[in-house]
Structure 1
Amino acid sequence: MKIGICPGSFDPVTNGHLDIIKRASHVVDKVVVAVLNNPFKNPLFTIEERINILKEATKDIPNVEIDCFSGLLVDYVNVKKADVIIKGLRAVSDFEYEFQMALMNKKLNKNVETMFMMTSSEYSYLSSSIVKETFKLNGCIEGLVPDYVIDAMRKKFKDAR
């Protein structure tokens, strides 16, 4: 069984993320969507909230598992006995950073491979940061994230006010 790890913050998950996850599910036997618990970031959603949102978003993709991790991705890859890290790329600027990360992961574990998937052109500009900023400024994010993410963001910002 070929296992791919699709890591990220997913704060919140966007339709661009879901595009990569769905496409990855056709390339490997199992996709583990791994939510990073990054102590250096201040996320909008908790780990538990992001996991629940991702479970809802991927419930119709049978070979997707949602999990979380902290620490080094290569260590997590070993724990999951994964074959490949799957990363989405929106632009050339993403490639430079992700290429450095792939080389570092390879240095830390020579058996770790990274596969890059180009984001569909309709999502090439999309990021979680843009979604949050647009939402905070009362812009429309319909079509950028699943509807239940919009509902969760409304609740999150309402609770903060």
Structure 2
Amino acid sequence: MERIAVCPGSFDPVTLGHLDIFSRASNLFDRVIVLVSKNMMKSHESFTPQERKDMILRVTKNLPNLEVDIFGGLLADYVKDAGAIAIVKGLRAVSDFEYEFQMALANRKLYAGAETVFLTTTTENMYLSSSVVKQIAAFGGDISHFVPPEILDFIEKRLVKERQS
């Protein structure tokens, strides 16, 4: 039986921290679906779902068992329909765990066929988030240490354009 995992997130934009979680998940599962989704807690998105999907595809070409999809509904429904056995979430700090633990319990209640697996970030990525990248870029800071080089120019151009608006 193929072991499929879904790795959901907004990835607005994708960071080196996300890439680390994708890579590690691809070593644990036969197939990993990175699922670009809308975060209801965030009111503004810098990149469209299709742009985020395209960026992730560009930076994960070396992971043959990874695919990217877009979904706007309940995660539990997607996981069930995909035949996945796991939901993979990256954790940076204890503060992430509280929210993610609640979500894991809710997803388990909605669909008991998949476990939530938490992967802790590497120490160099503990502070890194899409929000941090956007904030640094908004003030003209160097984000090259935070995002994959293949998509750096695209991200910078978009975030600079937002700053000027």
| Cα separation, 2, equivalents of 1:158 and 1:103 | 39
Contact 2:134 2:159 in 1 (8 A): no
Contact 2:80 2:111 in 1 (8 A): no
1:91 maps to a residue whose letter is A
| Cα separation, 1, equivalents of 2:133 and 2:39 | 19
Shift in Å at residue 117 of structure 1? 0.4
Contact 1:35 1:50 in 2 (8 A): yes
2:129 maps to a residue whose letter is S
1:1-161 pair list within 5 angstroms: 1-38=2-39, 41-160=43-162, 161=164
| Cα separation, 2, equivalents of 1:14 and 1:157 | 14
Root mean square deviation, CA, Å: 1.3
3-state SS of the aligned residue for 2:137?
A: helix
TM-score under structure 1 length normalisation = 0.95
Shift in Å at residue 96 of structure 1? 0.6
The 3 A distance-change label for structure 1 pair 158 and 132 is closer
Contact 2:80 2:113 in 1 (8 A): no
Contact 1:12 1:149 in 2 (8 A): no
Q: Which moved more, 1:124-133 or 1:137-146?
A: 137-146
Q: Which moved more, 1:134-143 or 1:35-44?
A: 35-44
| Cα separation, 2, equivalents of 1:127 and 1:120 | 13
Shift in Å at residue 143 of structure 1? 1.7
3-state SS of the aligned residue for 1:13?
A: coil
| Cα separation, 2, equivalents of 1:51 and 1:75 | 20
| Cα separation, 2, equivalents of 1:104 and 1:121 | 29
Q: Deviations over 1:61-98 (max 9, x none)?
A: 10000101111100010111111000000000001100
| Cα separation, 1, equivalents of 2:94 and 2:39 | 24
| Cα separation, 2, equivalents of 1:41 and 1:100 | 21
| Cα separation, 1, equivalents of 2:127 and 2:86 | 25
Shift in Å at residue 38 of structure 1? 4.3
Shift in Å at residue 158 of structure 1? 4.9
TM-score under structure 2 length normalisation = 0.92
3-state SS of the aligned residue for 1:154?
A: helix
3-state SS of the aligned residue for 1:126?
A: coil
Query: Please, which runs of 5 or more residues in structure 1 have no aligned partner?
Result: none
